[in-house]
């Protein structure tokens, strides 16, 4: 099939490259010409395992192209995928639809022949109806259907998740449109479930899934607090409850709070939609407030650990919102650092991938270390906020030799508690006995 993908972020670019890899002809469109020019030269706007190689390969064999003008690509397309951002509105926190509406308005006039327009961005329930009305109004002659194709890929695993989806959700109100999407995903037909639901159901499934996952994480974080107060080990509790297939053993790692470009915005958007429809969804509001409070609690723990030390130096390992990505959007590390800086803390940070993106957010308010060991030079506490593999393989002797006070706050439970204590450190994990 000939496909136009509008938006070259994590979802749009990964989807475009993945669809090219499974044999479709794809044009990725972005209104930012600088981004398109970089993509034409094989430079990706973000780091994702294997994406660069796959993108290069499919560019070379002509299966994927990049353009900042959508006219030609939309005119030739059998399918248009809208994968632009839906950031939270700064005040109301509802999903800001300006980019979605701009894309739909622009593409309307360029439609040729029967075309399916799919939203892959996470969009509020009813967005497909709005897009349908918008396109019909702008181009009454257009022959098209609007479907919802929610995306479930995780950052850091984007390419993996594209090729190994748990399920594919197709929100289509017509058989004609559903058949086009069945053809699009024929590669997956014998590999995973393809669920055909109504369009509004598909739009709801996305928010419902992310809100549930955020809730599950917040639950295990609160459970970790309980374990700390009752001399219980969260690892054993998580193992015990995770063995129940109704609970499942994924997303039971406690940490400093969830972050990223999805859970924070999608929980806020879901809470907004609930209010808008006069539905009481107290659980989601509790999760939002609880997760924000958790980051403050983590900052308090850090300040408490250096209380009484003259001009304490705080070393922080990890800035990305999770390992495997350079993304710092809504990263708990950034929020925690902001809290520490309010207390005039002297901070040195290190992250294997996210330093450049963190510098944009932190400026010169903290110092950026060359490597993980220079970060701990003369430090009175080492705080681990992202579970990078290299932190798990730390040379504890090197750390001990560099620190002024040997205290480690391991907010990702990366280190072996016994080894760290044997190394003469004061150690505190999350939910550990
Ligand atoms: C999430 C959803 O998983 C994905 O399906 C959706 O498409 C986009 O949003 P992502 O935001 O990339 O993906 O990251 P994810 O791996 O879900 O982690 C989200 C946050 O939860 C991170 O801050 C992570 O550190 C945290 N987390 C995750 C935990 O604290 N504990 C866990 O056990 C899992």
Contact indicator for 172, 199 with CB cutoff of 8 Å: yes
pLDDT tens readout for residues 341-369: 999 899 999 999 999 999 999 999 999 99
Which of 228, 18, 271 lies closest to 124, judged by CA? 271
262 C-alpha to center of ligand 1: Å?
Answer: 8
User: How far apart are the C-alpha atoms of 328 and 396, rounded to whole Å?
Assistant: 27
Predicted pLDDT of residue 409: 98
Mean pLDDT (the chain, rounded): 96
88 C-alpha to center of ligand 1: Å?
Answer: 18
pLDDT tens readout for residues 43-54: 998 888 899 999
155: Cβ contacts below 8 Å, ≥ 6 apart:
10, 48, 260, 261, 321, 322, 324, 325, 327
**pTM to 2 decimal places:** 0.95
pLDDT tens readout for residues 60-87: 999 999 999 999 999 999 999 999 999 8
Contact indicator for 138, 108 with CB cutoff of 8 Å: yes
Local structure of 376: helix, strand or coil: coil
Q: Is pLDDT of 92 > 90?
A: no
Distances (CA, A) of 324 to 44, 96, 217, 242, 310: 16, 28, 18, 24, 36
Question: Which domains does the chain possess?
Answer: 2-197 (3.40.50.720), 207-283 (1.10.1040.10), 289-428 (3.40.50.720)
Predicted pLDDT of residue 91: 84
258 C-alpha to center of ligand 1: Å?
Answer: 7
For ligand 1, is residue 272 a contact (CB within 6 Å)? Answer: no
Average pLDDT over residues 373-391: 98
Q: Is pLDDT of 297 > 90?
A: yes
pLDDT tens readout for residues 94-105: 889 999 999 999
Residue nearest to atom 5 of ligand 1 (CA): 152
Local structure of 360: helix, strand or coil: helix
375 C-alpha to center of ligand 1: Å?
Answer: 27
Distances (CA, A) of 139 to 78, 97, 366: 17, 20, 53
Predicted pLDDT of residue 274: 97
Annotated catalytic sites, by residue? Answer: 262
For ligand 1, is residue 216 a contact (CB within 6 Å)? Answer: no
Q: Is pLDDT of 215 > 90?
A: yes
For ligand 1, is residue 431 a contact (CB within 6 Å)? Answer: no
Stated as kind and residue range, the H or E segment containing 79 is strand 79-82
Nearest-atom number in ligand 1 for the CA of 251 is 33
Average pLDDT over residues 239-250: 98
For ligand 1, is residue 207 a contact (CB within 6 Å)? Answer: no
Predicted pLDDT of residue 93: 84
Q: Is pLDDT of 108 > 90?
A: yes
Q: Which residue has the tokens 């549930």?
A: 212
Average pLDDT over residues 380-391: 98
Confidence of residue 177 (pLDDT cuts 50, 70, 90): very high
Confidence of residue 90 (pLDDT cuts 50, 70, 90): confident
For ligand 1, is residue 380 a contact (CB within 6 Å)? Answer: no
Which of 162, 169, 198, 189 lies closest to 19, judged by CA? 162
Q: Is pLDDT of 208 > 90?
A: yes
Q: Is pLDDT of 126 > 90?
A: yes
Predicted pLDDT of residue 227: 98
Which of 401, 397, 403, 404 lies closest to 419, judged by CA? 397
User: How far apart are the C-alpha atoms of 319 and 378, rounded to whole Å?
Assistant: 20
Q: Are strands 25-29 and 64-67 parallel, antiparallel or unpaired?
A: parallel
User: How far apart are the C-alpha atoms of 243 and 40, rounded to whole Å?
Assistant: 47
């Amino acid at each position: 099939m000939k496909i136009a993908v509008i938006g070259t972020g994590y979802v749009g670019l990964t989807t475009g490259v993945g669809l090219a890899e499974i044999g479709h002809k794809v044009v990725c469109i972005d209104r930012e010409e600088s981004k398109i020019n970089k993509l034409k030269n094989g430079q990706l706007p973000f780091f994702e395992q294997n994406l660069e190689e796959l993108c290069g390969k499919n560019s070379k064999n002509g299966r994927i192209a990049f353009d900042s003008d959508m006219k030609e690509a939309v005119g030739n397309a059998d399918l248009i995928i809208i994968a632009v951002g839906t950031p939270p509105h700064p005040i109301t926190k509802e999903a800001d639809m300006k980019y979605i509406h701009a894309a739909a308005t622009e593409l309307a006039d360029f439609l040729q022949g029967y075309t399916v327009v799919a939203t892959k961005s996470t969009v509020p329930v009813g967005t497909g109806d709005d897009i349908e009305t918008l396109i019909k109004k702008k181009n009454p002659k257009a022959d098209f259907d609007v479907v919802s194709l929610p995306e479930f890929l995780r950052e850091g695993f984007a390419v993996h998740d594209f090729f190994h989806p748990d399920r594919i959700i197709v929100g289509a109100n017509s058989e004609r449109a559903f058949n086009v999407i069945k053809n699009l995903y024929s590669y997956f037909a014998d590999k995973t479930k393809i669920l055909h639901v109504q369009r509004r159901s598909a739009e709801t499934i996305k928010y419902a899934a992310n809100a549930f996952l955020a809730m599950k994480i917040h639950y295990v974080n609160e459970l970790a607090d309980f374990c700390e107060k009752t001399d219980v080990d969260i690892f054993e509790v998580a193992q015990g409850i995770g063995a129940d297939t109704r609970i499942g053993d994924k997303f039971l790692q406690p940490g400093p709070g969830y972050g990223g470009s999805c859970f924070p915005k999608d929980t806020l958007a879901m809470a907004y939609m609930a209010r808008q429809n006069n539905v009481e969804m107290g659980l989601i509001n509790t999760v939002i407030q609880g997760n924000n409070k958790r980051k403050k609690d983590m900052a308090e723990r850090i300040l408490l650990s250096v209380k009484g030390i003259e001009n304490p130096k705080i070393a922080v390992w990890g800035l990305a919102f999770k390992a495997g990505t350079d993304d710092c959007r809504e990263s708990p590390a950034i929020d925690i650092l902001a809290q520490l800086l309010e207390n005039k803390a002297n901070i040195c940070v290190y992250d294997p991938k996210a330093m450049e993106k963190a510098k944009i957010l932190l400026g010169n308010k903290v110092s950026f270390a060359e490597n993980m060991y220079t970060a701990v030079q003369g430090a009175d506490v080492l705080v681990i906020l992202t579970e990078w593999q290299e932190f798990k393989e730390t040379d504890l002797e090197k750390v001990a030799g560099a620190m002024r006070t040997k205290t480690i706050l391991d907010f990702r439970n990366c280190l072996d508690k016994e080894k760290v204590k044997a190394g003469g450190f004061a150690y505190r994990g999350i939910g550990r006995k």
